[in-house]
Chain A
Amino acid sequence: MGRGGSHAAPAAASPPWHALPDEVWEHAFSFLPADSDRGAAAAACRSWLRAERRSRRRLVIANCYAASPQDAVDRFPSVRAVEVKGKPHFADFGLVPPGWGAAAAPWVAAAADGWPLLEELSFKRMYVTDDCLEMIAASFRNFQVLRLVSCEGFSTSGLAAIAAGCRNVRELDLQENEIEDCSIHWLSLFPESFTSLVTLNFSCLEGDVDITVLERLVTRCRNLKTLKLNNAIPLDKLASLLRKAPQIVELGTGRFSADYHLDLFSKLAAAFAGCKSLRRLSGAWDAVPEYLPAFYCVCEGLTSLNLSYATVRGPELVKFISRCKNLQLLWVMDLIEDHGLAAVASSCNKLQELRVFPSAPFDAAEQVSLTERGLVDVSASCPMLESVLYFCRRMTNEALITIAKNRPNFTCFRLCIIEPHTPDYITHQPLDAGFSAIVESCKGLRRLSVSGLLTDRVFRSIGAHADRLEMLSIAFAGNSDLGLHYILSGCKSLKKLEIRDCPFGDKPLLANAAKLETMRSLWMSSCSLTLGACRQLARKMPRLSVEVMNDPRRACPLDSLTDESHVETLYVYRTIAGPRSDTPACVQIV
C-alpha cells in the first residue's frame, strides 16, 4: 500500500491506484476543501489516514476540550494554521461564569513544541494571557496571522510582545476582545523595518493609540488592506490615515462624530475619494449624520457595511445606505426602522446578509418603529438574501410565512423578539406556524434561533424538516419534554444545541443520549433537569463530558447533592480527552 517509494517506471500500465505513493494522495487530498471530507478520506484506510494526516495544513478545533492539544499535535504534525474555539456561545451573553476555562495556554504550549512552523493561530472565546502571546512571539519563527475573537485575559503588553517579536506578522486581527489597557505603546514596538502588515484590526481596544506611530506604520506597510481603528481615533486623524493608505480594502473608522466643520468634511470626502479599492466599511461609532455624505464616493463599491455601532437615525442614514447598490452584507441598528429597511431593500438588491441590532435592548417600551414589516420587505426585494439576524419587538405568523415563501434560500435565520413569550401580536397565537413555515420552506437552513411564544408544535416541525440544521438556539419556548424530544430525535445534522429557560426535563435527554455523541455540544440552562439524570447520562455515555453548574459564585459539591436536586446549567460535549482538570469550583463534571 504505497510505502512512499515510487514504483520504477512500469513497463506496461501505471501502478494500480492502491499502490500509489503517499505524495500522490497528499496532493489529491489538498483539493478537498472541507475538513470533514478530509476526515472521511482519512477513515477509509490506513494509508489514506497516514497520507491525510501528514499533509493536513489547516486544523479547526471547534471545542477546545474535545481533544487534548497533544492529541492534535500528534495526529497532525504538519499543521500550519490552527483555529481553536473555547467557551460555548452563550458565554457572549454572560451565562458562563468567568474562570470557566478555555485557557489558550495549553494549546500554545503544545503548538510551540509540536508545530514550530506554525503560521496562523486563531482563538475564539478563549482565555488568552499575555504569557501566551509572548510565547507565540518567541516560538514560531514564521508566524504570520493572529486572530483573537471574543477572547479575554490579555493586555496591551501581550500585543507589544507580538509587535516586537513577530518579524513576519501579516495579520493582527482583534475582534471584540476584552483587552486590558496597560498604557503600553505597543504600536511603536513594530520595528521601523517592519512592512509586512496586511491586516490590522484593533477596534476593540479601549485605550488611546499614538496616532503618529500609527501613521508611520500605515505609511510603510504598503500592502495594508484592512485597517480597523478603535473608538479613540478622532475623525480628523482618519482623513490623514486614509491619505496614507489609499489602497485599503477594508476600513473600520474610529469615532465618527465631531462638530460639523466644512473643512473637515471636505478633507474626509477627499480622502475617501482617493480610496478606490474600499469595499468594506465598519466602525462609525456615534456617527453623526452630517458626516455621512463624506462616504458617498465609495458607496458604489461597497460590498459590506457594518453600521451596527452607528447610533444615527433619520433620512441621512437611509440615503447613505441606499446609495450602496452593490451591498452584500449590511449590519445596522434598528434605528433604521421599517421605512428605512424598505428603502434599503429596494435599492440594495444584492443583499446576502442582514443583521439588525437593537439600539435599546433593555428598555421597557418600544422606541423605534422596527417591526416585522421591515424583514418582510427585505425578504421580498432581495433575492440573494440568505442570512438574517433580526431583533424586533413584535412578529406575526403571517409575516413569517410570507418571508418563508419569499426566501426559501435562507441558510441562517435568527429572529429575536426582545420580550420572551411574545405571541403573534394580531392573533395572539404562538408563533409555531411561522417558524414551521421557515423550516419547511428553507431546506438548506443551517442555523436557526427561535423566539417568541412557542409550543412543542414548532419543535415537531423543526425535528421533522430541518435536516441540514447544524445549530439551534432556543429560549423561553416549548411546554413539555416533547419539545426537546422532537429536536433530539429529528434534526439529522444537528451539531450545536443551546437552550435556556425552557421546561425541558430529564426524559428526552436520557432517551436520546446517543444523539449527543453525534453533536458537538449541548447547553441547557434554567430548564428542569435533575442531577440524577445527569449522572445517568454520564454513566451511559462515557465519551461525553457532562458539566454541571448551579450557582456560579459558589463551589458546587456534587457528592452531597441528591439525585433529585435541580441542575441549573448543563453543558455536555463529546470528547476524546476525558474529563478536563481545569474546572473552577462552581463547575463539576459528573
Chain B
Amino acid sequence: MEEDSRGRAPSTPQLLNLIQDEGEWKVVREEADGGRSSRTTSYEAQEDTKLELKLGLPGVHDEERQAGPRERLELRQQESCTELSLGCFASHSRLATSTASTTAGAKRGFLATVGAKAQEACSQRHQDKEGCGNELTLGGENMAGERKKGCCPPSSSHDSAAGPVHSSSNPHQGRGAVLPVVGWPPVRSFRRNLTNGSSSKQSPDRQSDELGDKAKLACKRSLLIKINMDGIPIGRKIDLAVYDNYQKLSSAVEELFSGFLEAQKDLDCTESGELGAEEKIFSGLLDGTGEYTLVYEDNGGSRMPVGDLPWNVFLSTAKRLRVLKSSELLHGLVSTMQIQAVICFPLLKSKFYLWLQLCRWNYFIHVIVSVPQSQVSSSFIFSPCLFYRLKLPLVGQWIVDI
C-alpha cells in the first residue's frame, strides 16, 4: 500500500524490522525495553486475528463476541437475506482476504492522509543532539527520508523513552520524494484537493500530454472527506486515496477514533478493558456485525453501508463517511434517500420531507417506510426545522412496508 515504504538497513540498530508480507509492509517493532513493545506487537497480532475473523459471510460471526438481543435480531435479518447477498459478500471477502495482514501496527497521525502514507514509519527520535546535528548537515535527500514522520511514535507512549525509532521508508526515492510528514508543507487541508477536480476539468486542447498524465495522477491524489462518529462531537478528515480496499479503510477509521473512545473511557473510568473493548467496538465496521457500522454518503445525500461498490467506484461516489451505531441502523435507518416517488404513498405528505427509515442490504434495497410518529430511534437529532430529502434509488429492487 505504501509505495514509499521500502526496507532499508537501519543505521542505528534497534528498531524496526520490516517484514514483507504479501506485498504489504507489516511492522514488527523490536525494542530493547520489551514490556510495552511486546504488548503492542501482541495487540497487532490480536488485531490481525480480529480482522481475519471478520472476513466471510454475514452469517458467520465472531463467536467470541457477545451479541446482544438487538444484534441477534440483526443477524437474523441478515441471514434471511444471505442467499440474496451472497454474491456481493463473496466479492467483499475476496477483497478483504487479499490483504490479510493489513494495517497492523499502523500508527497514524491524526491526519489520516499524511499519517497513512508512512503508516509503518515512526519518527526518529534523536536522543543525542550531536548525532542529530551531524546527520542534519548531510545532503538534503538523506534528511528528507530520515525525517519522515507518520505520527507520534508509539515509543513515546511507553514508560521509558525508547531509543530512536527508525523510519521504515526509503529516503532514497530520488530527489523530491513525497514526504509523508504530518503538517508539511504548511498548507491548509483544503488545498490538498484543489488540483484533483480541476486538472480533469481543464479543456483538452490546453492540456499537454504531461498535464493529461497529471490528470490521471490527480485522481489518485488525496481525496479528503469528512468522517463523523456517533457520540464524538468532533469530526475528522480521512484521505480515501491512501487506501485501496475497505479493510484498510476500516482499520484506518478505527485508528482515527480509538483514541477518542479511549479518552472518553478514561473519563468514565468504567472498565479497564483497553484493547478488548476497542476492538469490540470497531470490529464489524464493514459488515454490519459490529457495534458500529461505517456508512458513506454520496452526492445526493443517500447513506449506504460501505462495502458494496468496487473500490474505485466507491472512491468517486463517497462524499462523506459516518460511523453510526449499528443498533440505530437496525430499524433500517441506514440511509436517507430522497423521495421522488412520494406521491405513491398516500400517507406521506409530499411537500414535507420526512424521515424515512430504511433498511438496506447491498444491492437489494429493503425499504421500510414508517409513519414518523411511531418510530423513534435514529442516528440524527431531528428537530422541527430539519428535514431530509429522501431519494429512492432507481436501480434495484425495493420492497415497501408501511
Contacts and interface: CB of A to CB of B under 8 A. Distances in A.
Contacts of A358: 185, 187, 191
A481 B388 contact: no
B189 A176 contact: no
A357 B188 CA distance: 10
Given A95-B182, A361-B191, A565-B161, A421 B136 contact: yes
Given A94-B109, A418-B185, A562 B160 contact: yes
B231 interface: no
B343 to A, nearest CB: 22
B186 interface: yes
Contacts of A568: 152-153, 156
Contacts of B6: none
A90 B386 contact: no
A41 to B, nearest CB: 38
B201 A500 contact: no
Contact of B263 (A94, A364, A585): A585
B198 A311 contact: yes
Interface in B91-145: 107, 109-111, 114, 123, 125-127, 129-130, 132-133, 136-137, 139-140, 143-144
A555 B187 CA distance: 28
Contacts of A562: 159-161
Given A289-B206, A309-B194, A585-B267, A553 B144 contact: no
A160 B129 contact: no
Given A360-B195, A553-B258, A554-B157, A178 B187 contact: no
Interface string A128-161: 0100000000000000000000001100010010
B199 to A, nearest CB: 7
A367 B199 CA distance: 13
A500 B183 contact: yes
Nearest to A430: B137
Contacts of B109: 94, 552
B188 A555 contact: no
Contact of A366 (B126, B176, B385): B176
Contacts of B107: 553
B240 interface: no
A503 B147 contact: no
A500 B147 CA distance: 11
Contacts of B266: 555, 585
Interface string B384-395: 011111000000
Contacts of A182: 386
Nearest to B146: A421
Contacts of B210: 367
A164 B189 CA distance: 31
Contacts, number: 220
A572 interface: no
A564 B147 contact: no
Contacts of A382: none
Interface in A475-496: 475-476, 478-481
A196 B401 CA distance: 50
Nearest to B112: A94
Given A153-B234, A286-B198, A361 B187 contact: yes
B68 interface: no
Interface in A481-538: 481, 500-501, 503, 505, 526, 528, 530
Interface string A426-438: 0010100000000
A187 to B, nearest CB: 13
Contacts of B127: 528, 566
Contact of B388 (A183, A333, A420, A503): A183
B201 A554 contact: no
B137 A479 contact: yes
Contact of B184 (A93, A333, A359): A93
Nearest to B234: A98
B197 interface: yes
Contacts of B181: 420, 501
Contact of A288 (B137, B201, B233, B235): B201
Contacts of B194: 309, 311, 333, 359
Nearest to B196: A311
Interface residues of A, number: 86
Interface in A436-482: 453, 455, 473, 475-476, 478-481
Nearest to B154: A551
A286 B174 CA distance: 32
A553 B201 contact: no
A501 B152 CA distance: 12
Contacts of A528: 125-127, 129, 132
B60 interface: no
A423 B140 contact: yes
A419 B188 contact: no
Nearest to A480: B133
A561 interface: yes
Nearest to A555: B266
B72 to A, nearest CB: 33
Nearest to B214: A367
A393 to B, nearest CB: 7
A99 B262 CA distance: 13
A453 B140 CA distance: 7
Interface in A5-40: none
A553 B110 contact: yes
Nearest to A552: B110
Nearest to B389: A183
A358 B194 CA distance: 10
A96 to B, nearest CB: 9
Contacts of B222: 362
A93 B183 contact: yes
A296 B333 CA distance: 52
Nearest to B152: A551
Given A94-B109, A183-B386, A364-B177, A553 B184 contact: no
Given A99-B234, A288-B201, A309-B194, A480 B187 contact: no
Contacts of B188: 92-93, 176
Contacts of A357: 187, 191
Contacts of A178: 226, 235
A361 B187 CA distance: 8
B183 A503 contact: no
A554 B156 CA distance: 10
Contacts of A393: 176
B272 interface: no
Interface string B142-173: 01100101011111110111000000000001
8 contacts: A93-B186, A420-B143, A420-B179, A500-B183, A528-B132, A566-B156, A584-B263, A585-B267
Interface of B: 107, 109-111, 114, 123, 125-127, 129-130, 132-133, 136-137, 139-140, 143-144, 147, 149, 151-157, 159-161, 173-174, 176-179, 181-192, 194-195, 197-199, 201-203, 206, 210, 214, 221-222, 226, 228, 233-236, 255, 258-260, 262-263, 266-267, 301, 383, 385-389
Given A184-B386, A289-B206, 10 more contacts: A98-B236, A416-B186, A476-B184, A479-B132, A501-B181, A503-B133, A526-B123, A553-B152, A556-B157, A565-B160
Interface of A: 90, 92-95, 97-99, 127, 129, 152-153, 157, 160, 176, 178, 180, 182-184, 257, 286, 288-290, 309, 311-312, 314, 333, 357-367, 391, 393, 416, 418-423, 428, 430, 453, 455, 473, 475-476, 478-481, 500-501, 503, 505, 526, 528, 530, 550-556, 560-562, 564-566, 568-569, 584-586
